[in-house]
Amino acid sequence: MSDAVAFTPEEQKKFDAGISELLGHYPPDRKRAAMLPALRLLQELRGWCTPEGMKAVADKLETTVERAYEVATFYVMFHTEKPGKYVIDVCTNLSCALRGAEGMLKHLEVKLGTTAGTNGDKYFLRETECLASCGTAPCLQINEDHYENLTKEKVDKLLETLV
């Protein structure tokens, strides 16, 4: 595992530059504080938190890979397995449920031929918790892009853009 390549040369450059900028945001003896933004950077570069990438993050932050893994598994936005091309997060919390979110989730399951919570090559449809769109419900996010005030028509249009 330790020999596995974490980054292409191009990615390595971006990673090094990104990390050194992040480290400038914290006291010099608190490198580990940059863990969340560093893992975010890793995920932006590699699509997910790869084991080799987490090792690279841990080395830069002068901490252990276990610390990186602990954080990556605690927060739901970090993927410790490769996610589908489109991660679709559907809020089904109370405010959204009162505006049709359960039906929207079912609609997506049927349209995409998947079950919420199942990771696939193309789609990773999952239920998520409140996305602060309560007055503009129902809502969902596709690869972190936010869509609200949704209807069947709007969702179908959105799905057409996912190629």
Partner 1 sequence: MHVEKVVTRHWGKPGQPTLDGYRKNGGYEQLKKVLELAPEAVQAEVKKSNLRGRGGAGFPTGLKWSFVPKDNPKPRYLAINADESEPGTAKDRFIMENDPHALLEGVAIACWALNAHTCYIYARGEFKHPSNVLDKALAEAYAAGIFGKKLMGRDFELNVYQVRGAGAYICGEETAMLESLEGKKGWPRLKPPFPAVSGLFGCPTVVNNVETIATLPSIFEKGADWFAKLGTDKSGGTRLVTLSGVCNRPGTYEVSMQTTLKDLIFDDQFGQGMPRGRTVKAVIPGGSSAPVLTAAEMGVALEFEAFKPLNSMAGSGGIIVMDDTCCMVRCLWRVTRFYAEESCGQCTPCREGMPWMTRLLRKIEEGRGEPKDLEQLMQVATSIAPWPPIGLGNTICALGDAGALPVQSFVQKFKSEFVQHIAEHRCPYGEHPWGAFGEFQ
Among 11, 36, 82, 120, binds partner 1 (CB under 8 A): 36
Cα–Cα distance for residue pair 161/23, rounded to 1 Å: 38
Only one of the segments 9-17, 80-88, 116-124, 140-148 lies at the binding site for partner 1 (rule: CB under 8 A); that segment is 140-148
Residues between 77 and 136 that touch partner 1 (CB under 8 A): 77-78, 89, 92-95, 97-104, 106-107, 128-136
Q: What pairs with residue 123 in β-bridges?
A: 86
**Site mask, partner 1, residues 50-69, x = CB under 8 A?**
-----------x-----x--
**Is residue 137 part of the contact set for partner 1 (CB under 8 A)?**
yes
Contacts of 27 (CB under 8 A, 6+ apart): 33
Count of residues that bind partner 1 according to CB under 8 A: 52
For the segment 6-35, give every residue that binds partner 1 (CB under 8 A): 25, 27, 30, 32-35
At residue 41, what are phi and psi to the nearest 5 degrees? -60, -45
Give contact residues for partner 1 (rule: CB under 8 A): 25, 27, 30, 32-37, 39-40, 61, 67, 70-71, 74-78, 89, 92-95, 97-104, 106-107, 128-138, 141, 144-146, 151-152
